[in-house]
Amino acid sequence: MRRKLLILSAAIAIFFLLALAAGVAVFLSPLLTNYIEGDAFRTAMEDETAKGLHFPRTHYAPIRRTGTFTARSESFQADNGQKAMKSLDARGVTAKFDPWGVLLRQWRIDGVQVGAGEVEIQIYEAHPEAVAPKTPACISFAEQSLSEEN
């Protein structure tokens, strides 16, 4: 019994070491660096940032990987904002990625540091989107059951 427990614990330890080695290989890989520094990643970041900050378009200077989980862009510009920010000009933008987000196949950012920048704000009238009230699951299930019987 003790020998089986020892073999099982050794197998689990080897599995975790292999998973750790694979994670290190991925994060230190030149392929990942080439992707992060490439135009496709920069375009995807511009699109997601524009959507999140309510700008029609944004522009990052070339993005450079500066560490295992960090990347830097010398500048970021956005204009014609649709909500509170009318324009944004940031210099020295550094972002730290969440390594656990990669396991969920998502690029998550833990933090962003901006060296300097200007923000132009505007007053706007908020128009919240109408949201239909959610019915409790038990009422919805009961309605479905009644409609199936008829």
Are 95 and 71 within 8 A, CB to CB? Answer: yes
Nearest to 84 by CA among 128, 58, 54: 54
Residue 91: CB atoms within 10 A of its CB come to 15
pLDDT, tens digit (0-9, with 9 covering 90-100), for 55-102: 999 999 999 999 888 999 999 999 999 888 999 999 999 999 887 776
Q: What is the pTM of this model?
A: 0.66
Backbone angles phi, psi at 47, to 5 degrees: -65, -45
